[in-house]
Amino acid sequence: MTALEIVDLTVEVPGRRVVDGLSLRVGAGRVVALVGPSGSGKSLTARSIVRLHDPDAAVRASGAIRLGGTDLLGLGARELRRVRGRRVGYAFQDAAASLNPAVTIGGHLTESVRAHDAGDPGELGAAALERCGLDAAQVWEARPYELSGGQAQRAALALATVLEPDLLIADEVTTALDPVTQAEVLGTVRAQAAEQGRAVLLITHDLAVAGRWADEIAVLSGGRVVEQGPSAGLLAAPSAPFTRELVAAARLEASGPSAHDPSAHGHPARDAGPLVSARGVRRVLRGRGRTTVALDGVDLDVREGESVAVVGRSGSGKSTLVGVLAALDRPAAGRVLAGERDVWTLRDRERRAVRRGTGLVFQDALASFDPRYTVERVVAEALGRRDGVGALLDRVGLDPAMAARRPATLSGGERQRVALARALAAGPRLLLADEPTTGLDVLAQERILALLDRLRRDEGLAVVFVTHDLRVARRIADRVVVLAGGRVVEDVPARSLDAAAHPETRALLAATPAL
Amino acid sequence: MHKSALVIGSVVTATGLLATACGSAGDPSGTTGGTFTYAIGDEPETLNPALQDEHTDPVTEMVFRGLTRHDAQNKVVPGLAESWQVSKDERRYTFTLRSGLTWHDGKPLTSRDVKFTIEAVKAASADAPLSRNFTAVESVETPDDRTATLKLSRPFSPLLDAVSMGLLPEHALKGKELTDAGFGRHPIGSGPFKLTAYKPGQYSELEPFGGYYEGRPKLPGVVIKYVSDDTARLIQLENGEVDGAHLQPQQVGRVTGDDRLRVETYPTADYRALMFNFKKPVFADKDVRLAMNYALDRDAFVKSVLLGQGSPATGPLDESPYKTGAAPFTHDPAKVDALMGPAGYAKNAQGLWEKDGKTVRFELTTFAEDSARVAILNVAATQLKQRGFDVVPNPRPADWVRKHWGDLDAMVVGWGTPYDADSSVYGPFHSSQALDKGGSNYGTYANPDVDKALDRARGTSDPAVRKAAYADFQKALAADPPFAWVAYLLTDNAVPKALKGPERRTLGHHGYGFFWNAEKWSWS
Amino acid sequence: MKRFLLLRAATALAVVVALSALCFALLDLAPGSPAASILEARSGGRPAAPTDVARLEHRMGLDDPLPVRYGRWVSGAVRGDFGASYGSGRPVAETLADTAPWTLLLTGVAVLFSVVGAVGAGLAAALTRRAWLRRSIETGLFALGGMPGFVTALLLLWIFAAWLRWLPSGGLARPGEPVTAAVLVPHLVLPALALAFGHHFGTYARLVQTGVARLRTAPHVENARARGLRRRTVTARHLVRLGLVPFAARLGVGVGTLIAGAYATEMIFSWPGVGREAILAARQQDYAVLTAVVLVTGVIVVLANLLGDLAVAWLDPRVRLSGRDPAAPNGGMDRAHH
Amino acid sequence: MPITDRADLTDGVPPLSGDGGTPAAPTRGLLAARVPVRRPGVWAAGLVLAAFAVLAVFAPLFTPYDPIATDTAATGLAPGSPGHPLGTDLLGRDLLARLLYGGRTSLLVGLTAAAITVVAGVLLGGLAAAGPRWLDELIARSADVLLSLPMLVVVLALAAVLGPSLGTVVLAVAVTSWMSVALVARAELVGQRERLYVRAAHALGLSRGQVLRRHLLPGALPPIASIAAFEVGHAILTESTLSFLGLGIPPNRPSWGNLLTEAQAHLLTGEWYTVAFPAACVVATILAVNVLASAAGQGEGRAW
């Protein structure tokens, strides 16, 4: 039985046709993943189903969107309201932000139920929370900002499904979650779909996620579905060229000579002393009445030319570790050594030299650029001059003509390359990369990973790569370090990761979808 | 449209408020036949007449009565005292009170109250400005309830004038400070009207006093409303929120067109003049000061600054019975040249008089808060400049002026009294009253002829002698002017046409005194 | 929340103490003798003789050193005794008791007008899809913002009292008339409107407008729409409540502005409040009255700030966690235009 | 709006912006440069201010009259009278001359007061943001006290100590309005300091001074420029209010506030234009300034 049928959907925003003749079916009880790179029109399609566009933006949609026989595009505002929330549930990417901080979780559920006069809010709400694995008694009175990321997403999911809609649209719901939490949330979604015969439209850029939790995958490119089919079959034998490209990228296989091969790079530096070391590092974060021990006695060495992946769940201390290794954040206890010298006993000027010798790349590349700066200024600032900017951009695979543009006008992948160009400008021996590919689509991610490979190979750069994605870690690293609760619980060569014994590592491994 | 609901709601609320409000707003027909409501700008700090000066605010004026009072010509006539006798040596005054006098609270008014009042005022010295009038009083005797005898250490002719000050009730103030705040706000007097309510900052409400010695006044009630903003006062008058109001000169024209109202325009003894500081060498030459007196076009002042509500001033006693017209000051540029040339001045390239490389340069200041004085200052500065005097107009705040009296070059001042001449000429012009000696001769003017004449006038109550003395005084002043006189002010009050009784009299400072015969007022 | 409240209250108390010392010291710095102005006022504006001034100063204890006078004043003030007016000798506490309620009423109603009007105008501008409406509201608000408060007051006076004669021009009631609600309301309308419109009304409305407009595409609002909530619910519960936070944060400070604005407004409308008292006291250098009035004003402002903080904490519970500076992240445009 | 004073408390991943491909909402820096070009209102506002400035600076070229010289032969002339295009006041002073010279005073007060306010505010706000916590508290509490103190008292005391003058008004405005600038500057600097690009700059090995100069200050500048523009309007407004209460510019120096004050008594008595002209000048200037200020602060959810 088809729950949702989209026929020949065309969506135009002023000046641009983003969705162009898209057709898609989602059967009842089925999970269909809508997969595509950034800008392919995934989110706009999802939003078009319940017409959730910015009220000020002139978005025009044509075609047909049928939900169990009702053409949603033809509904008036009043009828559409009755469909929203009741027949179509919508879960957003950033769950915490999608909830009103001033309203309790219970309040959210109550108003949803009341808006559709669907019954007793307390009862329905509690049931929805239980279905999503939350203890209603515990979270009912809580406000969104008091929940963890995983809890917030579950609560948002409960809210989207409180009235047991025929269709659930899950719009990148797990992008910001760590793999363990992601697995839990998507497991719930899938289980509910099966139990309640709910159609689920899963919007994601992650083909592996789609492959593991969706029954069918629809691949979107240029505003059209280029291929739709059962997950296993589609991934095993992609037919459309674009799908093939996507699947290849998602496999995370190095295309060139592997960086893992020590012979591939000219600096077999295993014997040399570590570039940077952490010794018993402890770091405590204080904020708003809460005190968190982010790092608790961490020891880590990073040697010349080595690639270390730091993995762990949200809150495990990964990013804090990067700040410490970059000599930016002072540990409460323990030492950070650059070469043999403790960076926090150095004079300010020398410590800054240490920082210059370390490249740093952030997940949110755009936010790491001064909004007033052009690409050229961003890179030139690190370089100390303007004339090498073109060459640097070229090195990270960007057109030097981009120098005049502002980072905000670039795509996510391009921004991350600009960030890399900046990090490399001072010729560092070590690159610290904090989740540089999270949030990028697989194609963009693959390009960044390939670039890092090349840099390691050609320049012998040591890399510390923070990620919550074990597949990426495997792909990029010689060594995988697993953090949990601010401690290093596993430090193994990448190739022996599967044999790792620590429960945390096992949990991550189990939760990580693979193609 | 849900989103507009709130907006519309608030508009509706506001409109509703307005509608409710309209019903009870101004009633232009006024309260003819009822209480007379009058708006005035200044509110006194206290309603105790002993703490004010001889120019009292309307409420104090109506609530209190003195032993003597002034008639329409400002002559001293019997008040609470029905008669008096002055001894030959003018050092003993015997007053006989009217019979059956009572205070507003019904207590009898006796000569002991006279004794108490004079002694209390004398004792209060600095607190009571009028104590200066009683320094000569040595003792007060009360042989019986209706007789009070004042013994003076020296003859003091203004005494009859001085005892026009409102009499204070001993029974209400005994054992208290004269400055007692309670009495200042809930005064008990013996005047024609009794204060029934005083709301500081709002109004005073008075009712006619049945025990008044001339009989119960005819007005059923008077309300004095304190409205400090000139424009607001005019609006209230036009709206009918008040029946009458004190007017600014520029408002007279507008009110004249209102057929419900009549404007009562009275002269005042309040003059404006430019005071010179004799400590400054620039004013040493009397020809310069004479020339400035001829340089001012007083008619232009009256026409512009005062909008016709004033008259040219040539001396301190122009509105007094002692006026002689000794000073021939008119606007006469030729006379200016004729005086300045022989005095050694010549016009320089800027057209300014100059002598030994120095122009007649001085700063002309006044209280910046008083816009009328500032206007006079500016017109005076412009006129003097046109005639070659290097005047720098610079109004300064009252606080500053009070601290720097001795340093001022020249200042627009106001003086004058409609009552006994002594009180407004002895202080500012007698050399014994110089600023350094703690007096109010702020310009430190010293002229032996003036001193002699003033002392003579003060020392006798013989009208002929006084007249001659003040004539000499005016002559001396005209020859060696301490001020450049500008104008006397008129004061304007709007009243309903139906109000009968207000009678023209030369009034005092602030135009106070409009209610001087309120006991005779009535509705037609 | 408890901690937040305690912190705020303690701060408020410290501010009041600092305020009292500061205004006492400030007024002490002002030269010119209060005694001289008292005497001058008593003698109908004639200058007072210096010897008399000195004598009066001594009697009033004005020649004691500043700390002595401050100590004396504080020990009285905590007992509710602010001394007596230099001019009339009336106990200042009595004057305050007479005038402060009227100022509170006036500013209270003005705040009400301000809030209702600003929220109304701001919401209309933020929520309307009609560009002309938004633009005309914006233009009107700009114009109001450019007008000095006293000009607004005079304009209102001129239009409604002098020209249309709809409303009385001042005072609480006609003299002698009992001050009942029915009498008070029409007398209150003009001064309260003048106060509300003359002081940051435009700022408030714009804060509401931008605060709300910025949230229109916020994820939680989008989610509320996606859940099929009624438009009214979305607007009131999800858009307006948080959208009012910057406005509420600013309003607390704004009340101070409003009270200071009441000084001029009360003069113009003959409103017998503390502001009028303060101006008159300032002109007469009656520092006994002025100091007390300033302190009372300060206390009201501090309380208003406190209330504003509480309102923000109520609107946006996240603030309760941080315990300070609810306004700062929003730019904290705390311009005080007194 | 989001209170992210410790974004690094958790390893939480910031949300993506949309699909990542389309540019995110333009940043403030970008807009500050762009907006004025796009909006005709901004040009108009700039023109009005420039015209006022030229008229004020070159006042003697536009009128032959001395603004304080009275002419009792030409009192109370209506606008359009020969020789007096805007008429004269009751003392015969030329209104055009008074407006022009008044503009001199008012604009001078506005600009200098705003300049002092902004410099002091930024300095104190910077100290609060960069200095130790006690200093931050001290400055914040001082601001609280001053915000609770009716400006009248401060001005009264200042006027009494220094004597009323242009300088006193300027100082009074500065003393009573630095707080808002300081709070904004502090909030901006603190906000900037916690932005990722500042961290990135530190990671490049830049010194504190370099980071402050290259990133923090330029980042905080647009909102500060915006508030500075507001301060100009605020100062002009304050000048007129103070003058109205008799605490402002000495009455003999023409300023728009003084003109208004003098004229308000004539509101009902026929000489409406004596009120209308200076009021129009004040309103037009503040409108123009506010338009510019809003343009500078656009996109920050800031109001005037």
Chain C interface includes B438 (CB < 8 A): yes
Chain A interface includes D213 (CB < 8 A): no
pLDDT at D18: 32
- The H or E element that residue B17 is part of is helix B2-24
Which residues, 6 or more positions from A420, have their beta carbon under 8 angstroms from its beta carbon?
A: A359, A361, A396, A431, A436, A448, A451, A452, A455
pLDDT at B283: 95
The burial of C134, by beta-carbon neighbours within 10 Å (0-12 exposed, 13-18 middle, 19 or more buried), is given as: middle
**Among D144, D245, D257, whose Cβ lies nearest the Cβ of C264?**
D245
Indicate if the pLDDT at residue A422 is higher than 60. yes
DSSP string, B357-394: TEE-EEEEE-BTT-HHHHHHHHHHHHHHHHTT-EEEE-
pLDDT at A290: 64
Residue D126, in any domain of the structure: yes
Nearest to B223 by CA among B55, B46, B34: B34
Nearest to D163 by CA among C302, B400, A22: B400
Q: What is the CATH number of the domain that holds B442?
A: 3.10.105.10
Q: Is residue B513 domain-shared with residue B481, that is, in the same domain? A: no
pLDDT at B210: 94
| Residue indicated by tokens 């990973």 | A449
pLDDT at B241: 86
Total tally of structural domains belonging to chain B = 3
Q: Within chain A, how many helices (H) and strands (E) appear?
A: 18, 20
Helix (H, G, I), strand (E, B) or coil at B263: strand
Separation CA A507–CA A183 (nearest Å)? 10
Please, are residues D48 and D291 in contact by the beta-carbon 8 Å criterion? Answer: no
Residue A435, in any domain of the structure: no
Helix (H, G, I), strand (E, B) or coil at C193: helix
Indicate if the pLDDT at residue A50 is higher than 50. yes
Nearest to D200 by CA among A304, A355, B150: A355
Q: Is residue B402 domain-shared with residue B470, that is, in the same domain? A: yes
Total tally of structural domains belonging to chain D = 1
DSSP string, B144-198: ETTEEEEEESS--TTHHHHTTSPPPPHHHHTTS-TT-HHHHHS----SSEEEEEE
Q: What is the CATH number of the domain that holds D140?
A: 1.10.3720.10
pLDDT at A56: 66
> How far is CA B52 from its chain centroid?
11
Please, are residues C278 and C293 in contact by the beta-carbon 8 Å criterion? Answer: yes
- The H or E element that residue D263 is part of is helix D256-263
Region A458-472: what's the mean pLDDT? 88
Q: Which chains touch B (3 or more CB pairs under 8 A)?
A: C, D
Separation CA B380–CA B395 (nearest Å)? 12
The burial of D196, by beta-carbon neighbours within 10 Å (0-12 exposed, 13-18 middle, 19 or more buried), is given as: middle
Residue A413, in any domain of the structure: yes
Q: CA A84, A85, A89: angle at the middle one, nearest 5?
A: 100
Residue A166, in any domain of the structure: no
Residue A396, in any domain of the structure: yes
Q: Is residue B465 domain-shared with residue B414, that is, in the same domain? A: yes
Mind listing the pLDDT tens digit for each residue in C114-131?
Answer: 889 989 998 888 888 788
- Nearest-Cα distance to chain C for A341, in Å, is 39
Mind listing the pLDDT tens digit for each residue in D58-102?
Answer: 888 888 888 888 888 888 888 888 888 888 888 888 989 999 999
Separation CA B305–CA B382 (nearest Å)? 13
Partners of A358 on chain D (C-beta within 8 Å) are 203
Q: Is residue B82 domain-shared with residue B134, that is, in the same domain? A: yes
**Among B9, B181, B238, whose Cβ lies nearest the Cβ of C90?**
B181
- The DSSP 8-state label assigned to residue D14 in this structure reads P
Separation CA B482–CA B278 (nearest Å)? 8
Which residues, 6 or more positions from A488, have their beta carbon under 8 angstroms from its beta carbon?
A: A298, A299, A300, A481, A482
pLDDT in tens, chain D (304 residues): 333 322 333 233 233 333 333 333 333 333 333 344 456 778 888 898 899 999 988 888 888 888 888 888 888 888 888 888 888 888 888 989 999 999 999 899 888 998 999 899 888 988 888 778 888 888 887 887 777 666 766 776 676 667 677 888 888 888 888 888 888 888 888 877 778 888 899 888 888 888 888 888 887 777 777 777 777 877 887 887 777 766 778 878 888 888 887 777 776 666 778 888 888 888 888 888 877 877 765 533 333 2
Residue B184, in any domain of the structure: no
Partners of C223 on chain A (C-beta within 8 Å) are 90, 92, 98-99, 156, 159
Q: Please tell me the least confidently modeled range out of A357-361, C223-227, D172-176.
A: D172-176
Region A392-409: what's the mean pLDDT? 88
Long-range contacts, stretch D71-79, CB < 8 angstroms, 24+ apart: D71/B382, D72/B297, D72/B300, D72/B301, D72/B303, D72/B304, D72/B379, D72/B383, D73/B300, D75/B303, D75/B304, D76/D271, D78/D273, D79/D273
Region A374-393: what's the mean pLDDT? 89
Instruction: Give the chain D residue nearest C199 (alpha carbons).
Output: D237
Interface test with D, best of C13, C135, C142 (most D CBs within 10 A): C142
Interface test with D, best of A352, A415, A438, A443 (most D CBs within 10 A): A352
- Per-residue CA distances from C263 to B465, C257, D150, D219, D242 (Å): 55, 10, 9, 39, 11
Angle in degrees, 0-180, between the axes of helices C274-283 and C92-127, rounded to the nearest 10: 120
- Phi, psi dihedrals of residue A101, rounded to the nearest 5°: -65, -20
**CATH of range C98-322; options 3.50.50.60, 1.10.3720.10, 3.30.499.10, 1.20.120.850:** 1.10.3720.10
pLDDT at D300: 35
Indicate if the pLDDT at residue A323 is higher than 60. yes
- Nearest-Cα distance to chain A for C323, in Å, is 8
Separation CA C100–CA C277 (nearest Å)? 10
Q: CA C115, C119, C124: angle at the middle one, nearest 5?
A: 155
| Domain hosting residue A401, numbered range | 365-427
- Nearest-Cα distance to chain D for A246, in Å, is 17
What percent of chain A shows pLDDT beyond 70?
Answer: 94
Indicate if the pLDDT at residue C332 is higher than 60. no
- Nearest-Cα distance to chain C for A153, in Å, is 13
Separation CA D70–CA B383 (nearest Å)? 8
Q: CA D207, D208, D211: angle at the middle one, nearest 5?
A: 85
pLDDT at D10: 29
Q: Is residue B355 domain-shared with residue B294, that is, in the same domain? A: yes
Mind listing the pLDDT tens digit for each residue in A384-394?
Answer: 888 889 998 99
Please, are residues D258 and D281 in contact by the beta-carbon 8 Å criterion? Answer: no
Separation CA C214–CA C210 (nearest Å)? 6
The amino acid that residue C223 corresponds to is N
- Nearest-Cα distance to chain D for C320, in Å, is 11
Separation CA A175–CA A182 (nearest Å)? 8
| HSE, side-chain direction, 13 A CA sphere, residue A92 | 25
- The DSSP 8-state label assigned to residue D178 in this structure reads H
Indicate if the pLDDT at residue A197 is higher than 80. yes
Q: Is residue B50 domain-shared with residue B76, that is, in the same domain? A: no
Partners of D264 on chain B (C-beta within 8 Å) are 231
Indicate if the pLDDT at residue C328 is higher than 50. no
pLDDT at B170: 95
Which one is predicted more confidently, D50 or A250?
A: D50
- Tokens in use for D279? 């009021």
pLDDT class of A264 with cuts at 50, 70, 90: very low
Separation CA A173–CA D16 (nearest Å)? 11
| Domain hosting residue D180, numbered range | 39-297
Separation CA A303–CA A429 (nearest Å)? 10
| Domain hosting residue B386, numbered range | 268-489
- The DSSP 8-state label assigned to residue B321 in this structure reads T
- Nearest-Cα distance to chain C for A115, in Å, is 5
Partners of A100 on chain C (C-beta within 8 Å) are 220, 224, 237-238, 241-242
Residue A125, in any domain of the structure: no
- Per-residue CA distances from A510 to A212, A216, A296, A313, A471 (Å): 12, 22, 26, 13, 12
Do residue C228 and residue A101 have CB atoms under 8 angstroms apart? no
Q: CA A203, A151, A514: angle at the middle one, nearest 5?
A: 45
Residue B186, in any domain of the structure: no
Separation CA B506–CA B514 (nearest Å)? 9
Q: Is residue B430 domain-shared with residue B516, that is, in the same domain? A: no
Please, are residues B499 and B515 in contact by the beta-carbon 8 Å criterion? Answer: no
Q: Is residue B20 domain-shared with residue B36, that is, in the same domain? A: yes
Do residue C145 and residue D286 have CB atoms under 8 angstroms apart? yes
Interface test with D, best of B296, B297, B378, B387 (most D CBs within 10 A): B378
Helix (H, G, I), strand (E, B) or coil at D73: coil
**Among A175, A315, A406, whose Cβ lies nearest the Cβ of D16?**
A175
Residue numbers of chain B with a pLDDT score lower than 50:
1-31
Q: Please tell me the least confidently modeled range out of A333-347, A352-366, B142-156, D260-274.
A: D260-274
Separation CA B371–CA B40 (nearest Å)? 17
0.80 surpassed by pTM: no
Total tally of structural domains belonging to chain A = 1
Region C295-319: what's the mean pLDDT? 79
Please, are residues D235 and D117 in contact by the beta-carbon 8 Å criterion? Answer: yes
Please list the alpha-helical segments (H only) found in chain C.
2-29, 34-42, 50-60, 66-77, 92-127, 131-145, 149-156, 181-198, 201-215, 219-226, 231-233, 241-243, 245-268, 274-283, 287-315, 318-322
pLDDT at B24: 38
Please, are residues C269 and C153 in contact by the beta-carbon 8 Å criterion? Answer: yes
Which residues, 6 or more positions from D68, have their beta carbon under 8 angstroms from its beta carbon?
A: B378, B381, B382, B393, D93, D252, D254
pLDDT at C160: 87
Cβ pairs bridging B and C (under 8 Å) = 221
Partners of A53 on chain C (C-beta within 8 Å) are none
Please, are residues A441 and A433 in contact by the beta-carbon 8 Å criterion? Answer: no
pLDDT at B19: 40
Mind listing the pLDDT tens digit for each residue in D89-138?
Answer: 888 889 899 999 999 998 998 889 989 998 998 889 888 887 788 888 88
Which residues, 6 or more positions from A449, have their beta carbon under 8 angstroms from its beta carbon?
A: A252, A254, A437, A472, A475, A476
pLDDT at D189: 83
Do residue A52 and residue C226 have CB atoms under 8 angstroms apart? yes
Note whether A touches C: 3 CB pairs or more under 8 A. yes
